[in-house]
Amino acid sequence: MYIGECEIGPNAPVFIVAEAGTAHLGQLERGYELIDGAAAAGADCIKFQAVIADEIIHPLSGQVELPGGRVDLYRKFKELERDAGFYRQLKEYTEKKGLVFLCSAFGLKSARLLHSLEVDALKIASPELNHFTLLKEAASYNLPLILSTGVSTLADIENALVITGEMSILLHCVTAYPAPEEEYNLNVMPNMGRIFGRLMGISDHSKDPLLVPVLAVCRDSGLIEKHLTLSATAGGLDDVFALDPEEFSLMVKAVRRAEKEGGGDNPGAHGG
């Protein structure tokens, strides 16, 4: 499988995704800085989130307790909404820097927005894994689909894969922010890969920059996704547990070293 020009599979280097999410805070220049940071750190890809508040949360949900404090999440998402032009400029700058542009879709509007930009792949977050209307829409694009599984049962995953078909990658994930490293149980990954016949990756929400990513290499992870921010105090929804560019660079170097030294059973793993 290829995402852009990057091969993803057992004979390819781990595909490293810098999850910027909404750390741009709605500011294009800040988005560019995140892309610069991801490129300098050695990521293969930077991922954002195409936020349309009504696709994500009910307007009357009220305040939600997050790592950075209590937030009126619907209002926050409304503030982060941007049009297709905003994401188009992020995509163009990402590709200028030699990275793959990736973005999460949460509903039909955001999926169609991203499809209009001619993206190379789509990310589906784990709460949307049973959003079958979205999955059918995304599958109709004939693009690679990256599916997180953090809040899913095995039946949820099986049902999703019936819709999405062969062009899908599963990410093992613990849906907690931050996620305790000791709860990741990375032995799940090869088991899930065998059960579902899909390439496995990891979406790591833990604060430790090295532990889960390096151990994931030892479990033949084809993709590693970890949050990136410019500063843990910037005020973004995920900033308090995200890595800054220097920490992300340390992670990338550790992952590449683990590949080179043959940490897993994958004979094709190597630095790159």
Query: CA–CA separation, 189 vs 166, rounded Å?
Result: 18
In this prediction, residue 263 carries a pLDDT of: 52
CATH 3.40.50.150 fits 19-260, yes or no: no
In this prediction, residue 236 carries a pLDDT of: 87
Residue 244 near residue 258 (C-beta atoms within 8 A) = no
Per-residue pLDDT of the chain (272 residues; tens, 9 = 90+): 999 999 998 889 999 999 999 999 999 999 999 999 999 999 999 999 999 999 999 999 888 777 677 889 999 999 999 999 999 999 999 999 999 999 999 999 999 999 999 999 999 999 999 999 999 999 999 999 999 999 999 999 999 999 999 999 999 999 888 999 999 999 999 999 999 999 999 999 999 999 999 999 999 999 999 999 999 888 888 888 999 999 999 999 999 999 988 754 443 333 33
In this prediction, residue 171 carries a pLDDT of: 98
Tokens of 2: 């290829």
DSSP character string of 127-159: GGTT-HHHHHHHHTTT--EEEE-TT--HHHHHH
Secondary structure letter of residue 243 according to DSSP: B
Would you tell me the crossing angle of helices 154-164 and 132-139 to the nearest 10 degrees?
Answer: 30
pTM assigned to the model: 0.93
Query: CA–CA separation, 157 vs 126, rounded Å?
Result: 10
In this prediction, residue 233 carries a pLDDT of: 87
Q: Is 88 exposed, middle or buried (0-12, 13-18, 19+ CB in 10 A)?
A: middle
Q: Is 118 exposed, middle or buried (0-12, 13-18, 19+ CB in 10 A)?
A: exposed
In this prediction, residue 266 carries a pLDDT of: 41
Q: What stretch of H or E contains 18?
A: strand 15-21
**CA distances (Å), 154 to each of 10, 105, 130, in order?**
23, 22, 12
In this prediction, residue 234 carries a pLDDT of: 87
In this prediction, residue 265 carries a pLDDT of: 46
